Chains A and B, each alone.
Chain A
Amino acid sequence: MHHNNQFVKKTKKGQIRKVVREHYLRDDIWSGTPLDEECEASAHKLSASASHYLVIDTNIALHQLDFLEHPAITDVVVCSVVLEEVRHKNSAAYQRLRALCASDAKRFYVFANEHHRETFIKSEAGESPNDRNDRAIRVATKWYADRLAGRMEVILLTNDSGSRRLAEEEGVRAIGAASYVRLLRPDATELLDMVAAGTVVEEDPEEEDGGAPVRSAKRKRIYEEHKTFSEVQAGIREGRFHQGALRVNRYNPYEGYVGSDSVGQDILLAGRSHMNRAMDGDIVAVELLPESEWRGPSSKLPGQGKATGGGSDAAEEEGNEEEDVGAGAEPEVFQVGPPDDPSVLAQRAGEEAKQPTGRVVGIISRNWRSRGYCGSLKPPSAHARPLHGASNVLFLPVERRYPAIRIQTRQADSLMDKRLVVAIDSWPSDSTHPLGHYVRTLGTIGDKDTETEVVLIENDINTSPFTPAVHECVPTLPWRVTEDHLAQPGRTDLRHLPVCSVDPPGCKDIDDALHVRPLPNGNYELGVHIADVTNFLRPGSAMDVEAAARATTTYLVQRRIDMLPKPLTEDICSLRGGEERLTFSVLWEVNDNAEIQSTKFTKGVIKSRAALQYAEAQSRIDDPRLQDEITLSLRTMNKLAKILRRRRAERGALQLASPEVKFTIDTETHDPLDVGMYQVQEANQMVEEMMLLANVSVAEAIAHHFPSCSLLRRHPVPAPRQFEPILQAAAAVGLTLDVSTSKSLAESLDAAVRPEDPYFNKLVRILSTRCMTQALYFCSGDHAPHEFLHYGLASPIYTHFTSPIRRYADVMVHRLLAAVLQLESLPETARDREGLRAGADNLNKRHRNAQLAGRASVELHTLIFFKDRTVHADARVTKVKANGLIVFVPKYGIEGPVYLTPRADGNSNSGPSSSSNNKAVAESAFVLDEKKQTVVSRDGSVRYRVFDPCAVRIHVEEGYGHRRQLVLELISREQLQEAEQMVA
C-alpha cells in the first residue's frame, strides 16, 4: 500500500516549497514476539516469558537512557517514530538507543510503526507534530495490546501525564518511569536513583509518595531565562549577540571564554550569573557588556579567602546556595605536559588587559556528556542531619571545569566515600546547580584502580575487552611466516639483512626495526622495517572497525589499553629478536654524508638479529671492543643519525622539552616506588632520527600519488600572540626570544642559559613548548601544500608510518602506501576527503584523550607516591600572582600553587568573617608587579620573580572520605639538602 507524504518547507533562501515524498505501508512488519503466530521466526526478539512488554515514548528514550540501559530493563518495544525523533534531537542519545536495540541481552525490538499498514496514522487537522507522534506511539501500543491480549501485558512508559490519560481512555495501560520502578520493579531499587531528575516533575503529584520533592512554582529564579531560539538567531543576525563554543577555565566552572569570529577576540564570561548555566563545550549566544564593565580574568590564585567545606553546607540546606562556590574554585597541583589546550593559552595571553566581557543569553546546543561525569558526593557538614531515604546531595565532578551537580539518591551514606558516575538531565533557571541522576558506582575514592577508571572514563577511553568477533580476526597462535607469505605479490625476502630493534626497556610491542649495510659503491643501504599490521588488519573487518574507533593504544603508568588484541601486538606483529616477521620496509641508498640517493618501499620478511634496549644499544656503540655485525651497523647508523640531526637543526627544528617523569613500579602491588626525570640517550635519538626519515619519505610518496586524500600530520606555525606569556616572563629577566621563525627561536632557546642555574634552559624550553599548539592529523585535500609544514620538526611534510601497532593513523598510512605500490586498493573510507577527514578528526580526538589520560595517570601515581611521605624538592617559579606563586618541581614533573600568605581554609575553624579578614591581610601583604613579573612583600623583605629557584615541601593532605590532595608549601632553600639540588 502506498501513501504520499506531503509537507511544505521553507528553503534556505526563504522560498516556500511543497515537498512530496512517497511513503510505503507494509504488511510484512512483525511484532517481534514468539507469542504472535504471524510473526516470522527470524524476527523474534522479545521474550515469551517476560512479565510484561514496555513501549517507550520519545521523552523516555531521550532522558532516561541510563535507566533503560540498566540490565533489569528488558523486553522493550521501540517504535520507529521514537527512534526518528531521538535521532533529530540528540545524535548521541540515538547512538546509545541504537546500541540497546542491537544488544541481544536487552531484547529491545524496533517496531517500524510508521511503515506498518495498521499502525500508520495521518496527522489530523490542527494536530501538532508532537501530538501526532504521541498518538502514533499510543496506536502502536494499542496494536500490541490487542494482538497479545490475554497473553502478555503491554505497558506504555511515558512521563507525560496528558498522554497517559489519553492512553487510559483508549484502554492502554500507561505509567511514568518513577512510578513504574516503585510499583512494578521492587526487585531493582537502584533503578530509582537512575530515573532522571527534572522530568520527575512531570509526573502527577499524587503518584509521588514523598520521596521526590515537587519543585514549588514559588521558588525564586536564580538565572536569567534563556532567550528562545528565534530571538537568538535574530540577535546573531543583527550583530547584537555573538555565537561561539564556550571553553571553561580549568579550575573554575564559572569563568570561561567564547571564541567569536564576529568580535575577533575571545569574549570573557565571568561569574555565575553571566555564565547563565552554560557549561564547557556548549555552543552559546553571548551579549557583550558595556565597555565600562569589561575586565580581565582574575590575577589571583583562586581559593584564597573563600570558605571551603566549613559552613557552606548549612547555608545550602536553607536554600541559600549563592555563596557556595565550594572546593570547585581551588587550584590543584597538576602534572605539566606538552602544550596545554587553547583555552589556557588564550587565557594566559590576555592576562593583564581588560578584554571584551559578556553574558550568556542563550544556549544553542548543549554539550552534556551522555557517558556522564565522574566525581564524588560533597561531604556533609558536621552538623548536618543524618541522611535517610531519598535525599538531595551535591555531586562534585573531578574535572573542576564542571559545576557541582545536584542529584537525588537513597544511598547517600554508602556513596560518600565512592567515586560515582552521574549524568546531567537539566538545568532549570530556579536551580543553582544542574540536576542529574546517579548512573553507577566505580569504587572507593583514592583506590588506584577506581581512580584509574575515573581517568579512563573522563577521557572517553574504551576499556571493554575485545568482542569475540574481533578475536576471530586474529590468526591462531603459534603463528609463523610461511611460503604463502613469501609468495605474496610485492613481498621481498629481507631475512639476510642484519636487522635489529632498539626500544625502551619492557617494550613488548616492537613495531620498528633498523638495519644499515655498506654497499659496494661506497654508499650505505639504510632500512627501516615496520611491522606489517595491515596484512592482518583487513579493512572493514570487526577488528578494523574497533581499531579505527579506538585509534590509539593508551599508555598509563601501570597499564596499557591496546588498540589491537594482544596476540597481534605482542607476538604476530611484534618484530621480536630471532623470529621471522612480516614488515613494510623503507630502504634508502644514502651516501657518506647521509644524503638520500634513492628510496624504495617494499613489503618484506625480516629476521631480527636482536631486540635491544636503549641502554644496551648505547653500551654496544660505546664499547670499542665489540666488533660484531650488529654493533658495527649501530655505529654507522648513529653516525648517519647525527648528521641527519644536525642538518635538521640547521633547518630550524626545535629541540622541545617536556617534563616527563618515569615511575619505578612495584611489580607486586603496582604502587610507584620511585619517580624521576626521563633520561634521553643517544640511542633514543638515533632511532627517533631514523623514524623521522621514514615518516618524511612516506609522506612525500603518498602525498605525491594521492594529493587530495593522503593522511598527513602538520604542526601549525604558532601565532605570535601565543608566545606572549613566555615573552613576558623572559623579558622580566632580561632575556629576549626571537619567535619570528622556528630557526630563530631555536637559536634564542640555545642562547637562553644562566650559569648559576643549569636547569634554566630546560625550563625556558618547557614553557615555550607550552605556548605552541599541538600537531594534528589532517587530510591533504583540506589544506594548501604550504600548510603541510611541521613547525617543530621543520619539515615541509610529515606523517606517521612507524607505529601501526599502537596508532591507527599509521595503519591508514600503510594502506595508502600499499595503494601507491599498487599492492592493494584503498578501503572505501579512505577514498574521499569526507571519509578521511572524519577519520583524521577521530584520530586527533583520541590521540589527545590518550595523552591526557596518560598525564592524569602520572598525576594519580604522583599522589600515591607522596601519600606516606613528605619531600623537600628544588623548584622554579613559573608564574607570580598577587597572593602566591605557581611553581614547577622538575624532579617530579609537577606544577602547582604555593601561597605566600596563610591559606584561609588552612585554619578550618575560622568562620566566614575571619576569612574575610585574612583576605584583607593577604591583599595588603604583597604587591604584584605584572611588568617585572615580580611579587614583593610590603616591607620588601621577600621578593619572588619568575624563573627564580625556590624550594618546596610536598605532602598529601587527607580530606573527608579518602579525598586526597597534593599540597606544596614554600620553604627556604637552605632547608634543601645538597643532593636534592638540581644539577641539569
Chain B
Amino acid sequence: MEYVTPEGLRIDGRRPKELRRLDCSLDVLQSADGSAVFQMGNTKVLAAVFGPHEVEVRNQMKEDKAIIKCEYAMAAFSTGERRKRGKSDRRSQELSLVIKAALEQTVMVELLPRTQIDVYVQVLQADGGTRVAAINAAVLALASAGVPLRDLAAGCAAGYLEGHSLLDLNFQEDSAGGPDCSIALHPNSDRLVLLQMDSRLPMDTFEAVLNLAQDGCRAVASFMRQRLLEHTRKLAMARGAVRA
C-alpha cells in the first residue's frame, strides 16, 4: 500500500500536513442543556451535555468540585458494517474514561461544587479519529451549555506512515497499523490534556509527530472558537442584545 505518493498526496488527495474539512453545529438538541455535532471529514460525532445538576448518587458527591460523567457510544450504523455496539464494551469504556479525564481538566470544576455534569457522546459516522472528534464535540457542547471552561480543549491526531508524519489520519490510514498519536490541547496555555499513542516510535520522530498534532489542535481550536463566537453572536442577536 502506498499511503503518500512521491508527489506528496495522500490517498484521499490531502497533503501530509492538511486536516480534513471541519464542520460543526451547536445546540442541535432541544432537550439537552448543551449539544453539538462535530465533523472531521467523514467522522461525525454528536455530544449532549446535561447539567450541572444535583449529584445522583450521593456518596459520589464532591464537596469541593463538580463531578463529570461521560458516556461514549458508537451508533450501530456508524461503520460500514452494521453491528450493535453497546456503551459497555471495553473500547467504549476506555474512551469514556479518556474523554472524561480530558474534560475534567478543561471544565472549571471547582466553581461548581456538589454538582454533576453528564456528557453523552454518540458517534454517528466513524472514519478515524473518533476519540479526538468526541472531545471536540463534548467541549463545544459544554460551551453551549454555558459550563465554565478554563480553555477550549481541541483534539487532533497525527500518525507516521512510510517516513511521513501525517496529520489527522482517516480510517484507511489508521488501519495501516502505524503509530497513531491522539492528543488534546489547551491552545491558550499550551497545555496537553490528552496524549495517547499506540505502537512505538523513536524519540525524534515522535517529537515531530507530536508537534504536528499540536499544530493540528491549534487549527481545530481556532475553528471551534470562530464557530462559537458566530453562534453566540447569533444568540445575542436573537435576544436583541446585538444588532446585526
A residues neighboring B (CB under 8 Å): 2, 4, 11, 15, 17-26, 80, 83, 87, 98, 101-102, 110, 112, 114-115, 825, 828, 831
Q: How far apart sit A114 and B127, CA to CA, in the bound complex (Å)?
A: 21
CB contact under 8 A between A825 and B9, given known A17-B80, A18-B80, A22-B20: no
CB contact under 8 A between A102 and B81, given known A23-B13, A24-B12, A25-B13: no
B2 lies within 8 A of chain A by Cβ: yes
| Closest residue on chain A to residue B199 by CB atoms | A832
- The answer to whether A115 and B9 touch across the interface, beta carbons within 8 angstroms, is yes
> What residues on A are CB-neighbors of B21 within 8 Å?
2
User: 29 A-B contacts, Cβ less than 8 Å apart?
Assistant: A11-B81, A15-B81, A17-B81, A20-B80, A20-B127, A21-B42, A21-B172, A22-B13, A22-B41, A22-B42, A22-B127, A23-B12, A23-B13, A24-B13, A24-B14, A26-B13, A80-B5, A80-B7, A83-B5, A98-B6, A101-B6, A102-B6, A110-B5, A110-B6, A112-B9, A112-B13, A114-B13, A115-B9, A825-B202
> What residues on B are CB-neighbors of A87 within 8 Å?
2
Nearest 9 A/B pairs, CB to CB: A24-B13, A115-B13, A17-B80, A22-B12, A22-B41, A110-B7, A24-B14, A112-B9, A22-B42
B200 lies within 8 A of chain A by Cβ: yes
| Closest residue on chain A to residue B79 by CB atoms | A17
- The answer to whether B80 and A19 touch across the interface, beta carbons within 8 angstroms, is yes
B130 lies within 8 A of chain A by Cβ: no
Shortest CB distance A102–B (Å): 7
Give the contact-size bracket for chain B: 20 to 34
B170 lies within 8 A of chain A by Cβ: yes
Q: How far apart sit A243 and B188, CA to CA, in the bound complex (Å)?
A: 63
Q: How far apart sit A851 and B175, CA to CA, in the bound complex (Å)?
A: 40
Give the number of residue pairs across the A-B interface with Cβ within 8 Å.
Answer: 51
> What residues on B are CB-neighbors of A101 within 8 Å?
6
| Closest residue on chain A to residue B43 by CB atoms | A22
Q: How far apart sit A706 and B33, CA to CA, in the bound complex (Å)?
A: 55
Shortest CB distance A487–B (Å): 23
Contacts of B189-231 to chain A: CB distance below 8 A: 200, 202
> What residues on A are CB-neighbors of B20 within 8 Å?
22
B residues neighboring A (CB under 8 Å): 2, 5-7, 9, 11-14, 20-21, 41-42, 80-81, 127, 170, 172, 200, 202
| Closest residue on chain B to residue A826 by CB atoms | B202
- The answer to whether B42 and A20 touch across the interface, beta carbons within 8 angstroms, is yes
Most buried by A among B9, B14, B20, B21: B9
CB contact under 8 A between A4 and B42, given known A25-B13, A87-B2, A831-B200: yes
- 8 further A-B pairs in the complex, CB-CB below 8 A; given A25-B13, A80-B5: A17-B81, A22-B41, A23-B13, A24-B13, A80-B7, A110-B5, A112-B9, A831-B200
Q: How far apart sit A24 and B6, CA to CA, in the bound complex (Å)?
A: 18
> What residues on B are CB-neighbors of A831 within 8 Å?
200
> What residues on A are CB-neighbors of B202 within 8 Å?
825, 828
Q: How far apart sit A192 and B13, CA to CA, in the bound complex (Å)?
A: 38
> What residues on B are CB-neighbors of A828 within 8 Å?
202
Q: How far apart sit A337 and B21, CA to CA, in the bound complex (Å)?
A: 63
Shortest CB distance A32–B (Å): 10
Q: How far apart sit A266 and B36, CA to CA, in the bound complex (Å)?
A: 65
| Closest residue on chain B to residue A11 by CB atoms | B81
Q: How far apart sit A623 and B9, CA to CA, in the bound complex (Å)?
A: 71
| Closest residue on chain B to residue A834 by CB atoms | B177
Q: How far apart sit A828 and B199, CA to CA, in the bound complex (Å)?
A: 12
Q: How far apart sit A597 and B12, CA to CA, in the bound complex (Å)?
A: 60
> What residues on B are CB-neighbors of A112 within 8 Å?
5, 7, 9, 13
| Closest residue on chain B to residue A828 by CB atoms | B202
> What residues on B are CB-neighbors of A110 within 8 Å?
5-7
> What residues on B are CB-neighbors of A4 within 8 Å?
42
| Closest residue on chain B to residue A116 by CB atoms | B13
| Closest residue on chain A to residue B171 by CB atoms | A21
Shortest CB distance B139–A (Å): 24
> What residues on A are CB-neighbors of B12 within 8 Å?
21-24
Q: How far apart sit A17 and B42, CA to CA, in the bound complex (Å)?
A: 16
> What residues on B are CB-neighbors of A80 within 8 Å?
5, 7, 9
Q: How far apart sit A376 and B127, CA to CA, in the bound complex (Å)?
A: 56
Shortest CB distance A530–B (Å): 26
Shortest CB distance A93–B (Å): 14
> What residues on B are CB-neighbors of A102 within 8 Å?
6
Shortest CB distance A92–B (Å): 15
- The answer to whether B200 and A22 touch across the interface, beta carbons within 8 angstroms, is no
Most buried by B among A22, A80, A831: A22
Q: How far apart sit A11 and B83, CA to CA, in the bound complex (Å)?
A: 15
Shortest CB distance A6–B (Å): 11
